[in-house]
Structure 1
């Protein structure tokens, strides 16, 4: 045993982890919409959450990623704590599938998986085949990594130092638990830790009795990265992360007390130690879920008491998106869409208040308009930053197209809010300088205001419904609005020429017309982006 042995183990582990990542990306490419629908089907029923959590983790190939994503959803207010708990339980079950696949010892098909996958990458024209090839390549790397690790562990046979370590682990199960915690905390992937155990088992270096405590520690260690990631989240999100730890810790305590009978049951499931380890991993998580399922309400009460709510959480911020969901682009982009629509509705509400300040001289709205404009600016910047991060994880051409559209929407809605603020400033100016308009001028401005407000509200409804027919109608109305703008400007010039309007009010009148015209231009550009013009 020398340094090369350890390098081979790390190389195999790296290939194993990379294979998991490639599988995750490949599966998400053709199952991303299904993943999105699974999230949308969540209810308060924890059993539904368990099923969905299991499927999501099979797709994502990482329980830590699933739970971190769940913490992000809870932090964004998209998922309740009760819904999150069901998904967390399911994630622990779903993560055991990888170990079951590894236990089949399919390393002999690795060359075929890589040859077929890489060949399809070069020659396949249909998108579905190119997506399947990634999954095949991912499994090829996973099994290749497993094969390299298994071969490297041959060097440990008969090694005195390793034998002493195994003897210590056999005599002191607590050492195994601590080793499992340390390994998974370091690697941050429970499937990889189980894969290492299975590689050693294939070489007959460990027995099930030695593997079980490490496996139990592995389930505790997988919670730490999630718990750290929840540090800057709200109370409910931190409760979800704490629940993940408590759930796995309680399971560990239960099964440590039942190691001998549990081991005796698992041994009867197979004569192959690698398969026994996979079965133990599955049984542990399934039985732990069944044991704790009736006590969900008590566990919710416990984490709620341990992490009380804070009043400071009312501060404005994101409602639908969170950094922790970036790893799943289809979900992240779905939430970005909701956040942009919320920003759009806030822009419309801000414009409405600006019009009230201008036309009804309700100047109490002016500071609210300014506050909203600052908040929309902040949303614009932060959503754009989030989108930039998501773009590094995009997995399909249509997602790239969506991201481009979202950047355009952000810019246009933010500009609409800017014009709302300018109109509110004009309301202040009119009040300070005691400026008044003729009834005909007010009528023209009021008509243009109604047209502008209706266009914006109809656009937001069309975006919410994703109704391209309605968006086409809005484009037609935008063209009609331009004709009305020209008529209003002509009417104003006529009134000036006959003395119905004063020259000192002319600039104010034309300014507000210009702001409404610009708002209509932004509405038109959003509509054009939507239908791809």
Structure 2
């Protein structure tokens, strides 16, 4: 129809009509007579003077932006203040479905983002640290927990927004880092949410005087499927089901939205909230995508029957609660509680269904490139750091293989294995660059103090691993090539000494990877002690080599420079290995100058 090109002009109050009533009547008749009863942009301003239309639209846009940003600040503040504790809670979930559900509800009640809970839980499932059925129980609880803020905000508490913002700014400014700064951010976010809701009320109030506006929104009651789809699409676009639910609540409270239409929009917001994590993780491994898929299935199965009986449900809720805002939020909570009760006994069956729908891919030859760096979780620093840590461990495993192959090349003159070591070093370089690039994309301002330290530790250890790979490929393998070219052989005693030093270095590498993962101070002190022990072993090996030189042993004389250089390079590799222990001990205050506090046992 001809009305389509006029949308932007009508929306911004710029149609060239002589009076607002002419424009309003034209829009009213056109919409009434069209097959598109849900075109609110056309008639938003019927009964209003068009000189204020742009102001009204900007007011509404700004109010929604305040609401969205406030929710984001609550989520990031809670993650910074309690992120480590929340991750431990998820990882510690037992096989009890009720305990997992309670954990999910508690965590999401704090961070007010079921999507964040979904991403954290999916990451643990992808690493094999949590079963899918337990993860589904956590998400059922998360869906209930995310309704807490909506319940609180459905009461008339918006007047305290100024106090919350003041207290939040004071806490955020007075604290350099840590939980208080995160709590301050949460308080500011809550204040902005309340301020946004207040201004949405102010923007909607003039519109409630328009019969045409009420007619358009009321038409959603007769087309609940369209209302669900619209709300789901908006939720996917803004990545926040809570934002959409609160806007629906504000419209219903102002009398601009009939209750049946509001309930349909709430269903759409919930479905959109479940759909968003699945889309966000579409590029992830099947094991990671199964959790959001299961959550989406649960919400769909519960929503479809409710969609058919929205009228009676709205009437029943209206008898129990007269305030429209409370009716909307009570339905939001009841829907998620009902879904949790119905689905909890079937978590195992649902997990099996999701595994069949998203099976693991067939085993393929390992490809060059990172395994665990998921760019979809970069806006969740705790999860992103965990992925980076796992990728560094992947590099550590490759370095261990290179180190074990290096001694075989030196012993057996295996040129084929030498090429494999060179290829592995290229892979290590590729992974190192990928880890650096990934870490650079994580916003340092979003990190808590502990996470910022972990960020530095991950990058430092990755750098040391890359240096180890270079020493193995560029130094040890060059020495092996020189030995092969000149057809030299180590003496039996000489190669035995090299093996002894090499075995100690490999053992220290395994210990360092353990320390890097756990941050265990006792193990870190042990690694420092092992560095001293290796120095003694290397010194004894060198002394024995010089003794053989004095005896004039032909193999020793011919390979002397290679032998000593191999010992030197193994010692250099060990120095890079032990660097992780110094990082852990320094952060724990266990270092004094360049020495450990206390005596090493």
Q: Same fold (TM over 0.5)?
A: yes
Matches within 5 A, 1:496-511: 496=549, 499-501=552-554, 504-511=558-565
Match of 2:503 among 450, 460, 469: 450
Match of 1:130 among 181, 185, 203: 181
Contact 1:413 1:522 in 2 (8 A): yes
Please list the CA deviations of residues 436-481 of structure 1 after superposition, one character each: whole Å capped at 9, or x if unmatched: 1223433432332233233333333444453324423432442453
Matched, 1:58 2:109: yes
Corresponding residue number in structure 1 for 2:162? 111
1:173–1:313 Cα change, 3 Å: farther
Three-state SS of the structure 1 residue aligned to 2:559 is helix
Matches within 5 A, 1:309-348: 309-311=360-362, 315=366, 322-348=374-400
Larger Rg computed on CA atoms: 2
Matches within 5 A, 1:86-235: 86-123=137-174, 127-235=178-286
TM-score of the superposed pair, with normalisation by structure 2: 0.80
Corresponding residue number in structure 1 for 2:573? 519
Contiguous gaps of at least 5 residues in structure 1: none
Contact 1:184 1:221 in 2 (8 A): yes
Match of 1:397 among 433, 449, 453: 449
Contact 1:376 1:414 in 2 (8 A): yes
Corresponding residue number in structure 2 for 1:409? 461
1:314–1:242 Cα change, 3 Å: farther
CA distance in 1 between counterparts of 2:175 and 2:350 reads: 50
C-alpha displacement of 1:103: 0.3
C-alpha displacement of 1:196: 0.8
Match of 1:263 among 314, 333, 346: 314
C-alpha displacement of 1:519: 0.6
C-alpha displacement of 1:269: 3.7
C-alpha displacement of 1:111: 1.4
C-alpha displacement of 1:85: 2.2
1:163–1:268 Cα change, 3 Å: closer
Please list the CA deviations of residues 364-386 of structure 1 after superposition, one character each: whole Å capped at 9, or x if unmatched: 75455445434433332333333
Contact 1:350 1:369 in 2 (8 A): yes
Three-state SS of the structure 1 residue aligned to 2:108 is helix
Please list the CA deviations of residues 135-171 of structure 1 after superposition, one character each: whole Å capped at 9, or x if unmatched: 2111111111111111111121222431221231133
TM-score of the superposed pair, with normalisation by structure 1: 0.89
Corresponding residue number in structure 2 for 1:388? 440
CA distance in 1 between counterparts of 2:377 and 2:67 reads: 23
Please list the CA deviations of residues 46-91 of structure 1 after superposition, one character each: whole Å capped at 9, or x if unmatched: 4333323222322332223333444444444444433332233223
Match of 2:339 among 267, 270, 288: 288
Contact 1:198 1:273 in 2 (8 A): yes
Contact 2:177 2:449 in 1 (8 A): no
Please list the CA deviations of residues 112-143 of structure 1 after superposition, one character each: whole Å capped at 9, or x if unmatched: 11222223344468954433322211111111
Query: Structure 1 residues 135-144 or 379-388, which shifts more?
Result: 379-388
CA distance in 1 between counterparts of 2:406 and 2:164 reads: 63
Corresponding residue number in structure 2 for 1:275? 326
Query: Structure 1 residues 109-118 or 171-180, which shifts more?
Result: 171-180
CA distance in 1 between counterparts of 2:127 and 2:515 reads: 24
1:123–1:87 Cα change, 3 Å: closer
Contiguous gaps of at least 5 residues in structure 2: 1-44, 46-52, 592-601
Corresponding residue number in structure 2 for 1:26? 77
Corresponding residue number in structure 2 for 1:17? 68
Match of 1:471 among 517, 524, 532: 524
Matched, 1:419 2:471: yes
The aligned length equals 533
CA distance in 2 between counterparts of 1:346 and 1:221 reads: 42
Contact 1:436 1:505 in 2 (8 A): yes
